[in-house]
Amino acid sequence: MSEIKIIAGPSSQVLSKRVSDLTGWSMADVEYRKFPDGESYLRIREEVERAVIIQSTRRDEDIIVLLQLLDACEDAEKHVIIPYFGYARQDRRFRSGEPISSRVIASLIDADSIAVINIHSKEVLGYFSSPIRELDASEELGKYVKTMEFQNPVIISPDYGAIELAKKISEVAGCDHGAMKKERFGDEDVRISADDIEVKGRDVVIVDDIISTGGTIREAISILRKKGAKRIAVGCIHPVLAGDSLSKIYRSGAYEVFATDTIETPVSVISVSRVIASHLREIL
């Protein structure tokens, strides 16, 4: 059987190397550059018959590169890993005249198999025409939380949408969990309450699947501090962290922010490489 090659997309270079180390599959030689007009160019500089393409799609250009890689591997067996699938929050039409953007993008990705990690909306999975599986990184976050030196900690989700994530992390970490109530009035205008959560004198870890602007997290920190929480850490799977959101979260009182490497950032201290490698060994 032909050798499996890992093709590291430009947005997932470090993660691809970690998966390569765990699987023993070498990384393909790929050239990436830009034309003077800004268009993307790539070339796979070796023959690949069985490819594992790893590429998060945080930005629009990441989507273009993923599609280019798929076309460059036209005759190969292709298995795609999209650690962070962008546009997953645009999973339905909220007003007339809007596209269902996640459906548009999903329909373009044609491969022998596709895997995503903790996608924001399960509905998006139904938009793919190729076989797709959602992988779960919550255990990796739970293991990390377990190593932190906390006093009577509690894992809290900033809304009920992330309560299952908080529950899974707490089960691995061996601590309590709870959820706050959130109402959103815009990208950064959120109102949160935590009437049913007792945090006085306790360390708290706020967890969510995605942190983008950080507005929800900052409001949650403010409320929990007023309720007497001690140290407050913040964790997520997908650290989008748009603009200066990370510094705003720190200024709001978070003593630590941690995330996985589905998006490679300075706070990506947890790797999902074992989750991906396990999946790949199962299907290949």
Q: What tens digit of pLDDT does each residue of 96-147 get?
A: 999 999 999 999 999 999 999 999 999 999 999 999 999 999 999 999 999 9
Whole-prediction pTM: 0.94
163 pLDDT above the threshold of 60: yes
Going by pLDDT thresholds of 50, 70 and 90, the confidence category of residue 273 is very high
Tokens encoding 79 = 């298995």
Domain boundaries, the chain: 4-136+272-283, 138-261
Q: Which candidate in 143, 146, 182, 230 is catalytic?
A: 182
Percent of the chain with pLDDT over 70: 96
**Cβ neighbours of residue 106 closer than 8 Å, sequence gap 6 or more:** 124, 127, 128, 129
Ramachandran bin of 201, using left for φ above 0, alpha for ψ from -120 to 50, beta for the remaining angles? left
Helix (H) or strand (E) holding 43: strand 40-44
**Cβ neighbours of residue 124 closer than 8 Å, sequence gap 6 or more:** 85, 88, 91, 102, 103, 106
Q: What tens digit of pLDDT does each residue of 226-248 get?
A: 999 999 999 999 999 999 999 99
**Cβ neighbours of residue 184 closer than 8 Å, sequence gap 6 or more:** 190, 216
Q: What tens digit of pLDDT does each residue of 12-70 get?
A: 999 999 999 999 999 999 999 999 999 999 999 999 999 999 999 999 999 999 999 99
3-class secondary-structure state, position 260: strand
Q: What tens digit of pLDDT does each residue of 193-221 get?
A: 665 778 899 999 999 999 999 998 999 99
152 pLDDT above the threshold of 80: yes
Predicted pLDDT at 188: 56
248 classed as catalytic: no
CATH assignment, 138-261: 3.40.50.2020
**138-261 shares the fold of 4-136+272-283:** yes
Predicted pLDDT at 43: 98
Is the distance from CB of 44 to CB of 71 less than 8 angstroms?
A: no
Rounded CA separation 77/3 (Å)? 11
Q: What is the average per-residue pLDDT within 276-283? A: 98
| The CATH number fitting domain 4-136+272-283, selected from 3.40.50.2020, 1.20.120.550, 2.30.180.10, 3.40.1710.10 | 3.40.50.2020
Predicted pLDDT at 159: 87
